[in-house]
């Protein structure tokens, strides 16, 4: 039962982030921490603006991909076998 609800929750989370990305052109993240700027992942997914803010602009296909993955994960959770008593 826990596995089923865990997969359903993860699928719902990814699906809702995909819906959010449909309406979002870019996200600005204000960073004052020096260690935040040294995190190597940020240099790959964001650009730094003149105001020391990180701009993340997801591609158009990312929202539909996340909605698809989230929906399929939710459908998978429904098809999992029920726990035998």
pLDDT tens per residue, range 1-44? 678 889 999 999 999 999 999 999 888 887 666 666 677 776 77
pTM of the predicted model as reported, rounded to 2 decimal places: 0.74
> How far, in Å, are 52, 61, 66, 82, 84 from residue 58 at the CA level?
19, 8, 11, 37, 43
User: Do strands 27-30 and 53-56 pair parallel, antiparallel, or not at all (unpaired)?
Assistant: antiparallel
Distance CA 12, CA 1 (A): 17
> How far, in Å, are 7, 29, 54, 63, 71 from residue 12 at the CA level?
9, 24, 27, 14, 7
- pLDDT tens, residue by residue, 43-79: 777 777 777 788 888 888 999 999 999 999 999 998 8
Distance CA 36, CA 43 (A): 11
């Amino acid at each position: 039962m826990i596995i089923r609800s865990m997969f359903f929750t993860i699928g719902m989370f990814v699906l809702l982030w995909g819906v959010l990305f449909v309406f979002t052109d870019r996200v600005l993240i204000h960073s004052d921490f020096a260690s935040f700027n040294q995190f190597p992942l940020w240099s790959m997914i964001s650009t730094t603006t003149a105001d020391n803010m990180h701009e993340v602009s997801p591609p158009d296909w990312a929202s539909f991909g996340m909605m698809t993955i989230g929906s399929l994960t939710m459908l998978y959770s429904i098809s999992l076998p029920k726990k035998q008593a």
